[in-house]
Amino acid sequence: MFRALREQFPHAHCELDFRTPLELLVATILSAQTTDVGVNKVTPTLFARYPDAAAYAGADREELEELLRPTGFFRAKAKSVMTLGQTLVERFDGQVPPRLKDLVTLPGVGRKTAFVVLGDAFGQPGLTVDTHFGRVVRRMGWTDLDDPVKVEAAIGAMFPRKDWTQLSHVLIFQGRRICHAKRPACGVCPVARWCPSYGVGEVDPDKARALLKFELAPGAVRPAGVPEPAAVR
Ligand code: SF4
């Protein structure tokens, strides 16, 4: 099933735009309750205005809130980002620490966010058990556990560490594009033949195809190797 998903989404990647660990950490915090596309719309201005942890630490709260307004929950997010900046300056010399045990001590950073940063900004294998990851592995019958930390341990034991980051990306792509929470597109799913949940969603291929989603901004430039939606089908 992993092989089939990898063939379906050879381009699977972190969909947040970033250049540094700090940018990815901030973008991940902002992605709560909104889409990566929505976050990517505000981050170019945000990252230019606040280039380092000290800039967030000393931000003007109202100005920061206004910048973050389109991402929703902007007051809480502004507070989180400012507190994060202050903590990084006070405890880590303004740098994002590259270790799980340090990352999870940062305000607003749980294991999921920490693994996103470790996997995509520091190149260390990590399983990112978000809502898509959990739903897809349960539907595919890989586990029946609900608790994200237990899911992480169970799935981690099934795959070599070197595959963890890519596995997370393809499962999240599968959850966003095909195996949706409400109406999964079983009729065009690459793992349908092995999936014990086949049939919980639409099985008619034409109707299933109409359910496919692609979280790309209109007119967005696709990264190299990203097929057009028609090819993904
Ligand atoms: S067959 Fe249906 S339930 Fe199973 S992974 Fe595919 S879309 Fe999800």
Q: Read off the pLDDT of residues 166-193 as tens digits, 9 standing for 90 and up.
A: 999 999 999 999 999 999 999 999 999 9
Q: Is 14 left (phi over 0), alpha (psi -120 to 50) or beta?
A: beta
Binding residues for [4Fe-4S] cluster: 179, 186, 189, 195
Mean pLDDT over residues 18-30, rounded? 96
Map out the domains of the chain as residue ranges. Answer: 2-11+127-209, 21-120
Q: What is the CATH number of domain 21-120?
A: 1.10.340.30
Considering the chain, what percentage of its residues have pLDDT values greater than 90?
A: 83
**Are 184 and 178 within 8 A, CB to CB?**
yes
pLDDT tier for residue 213 given thresholds of 50, 70 and 90: confident
Cite the active site residues.
112, 130
CB 112 within 8 A of CB 128: yes
Please tell me the distance from the alpha carbon of residue 52 to that of residue 198, in angstroms, as a whole number: 47
Q: Which atom of ligand 1 is nearest to the CA of 191?
A: 6
pTM confidence score: 0.82
What topology is assigned to 2-11+127-209 in CATH?
Endonuclease Iii, domain 2 (1.10.1670)
Phi/psi at 51 (5° precision): -80, -15
Please tell me the distance between residue 143's alpha carbon and the centre of ligand 1 in angstroms: 14
Report pLDDT for 214.
64
Only one residue has tokens 């007119």, namely 219
Ligand 1 atom closest to Cα of residue 189: 6
Average per-residue pLDDT for the chain: 90
Residue 229 scores a pLDDT above 80: no
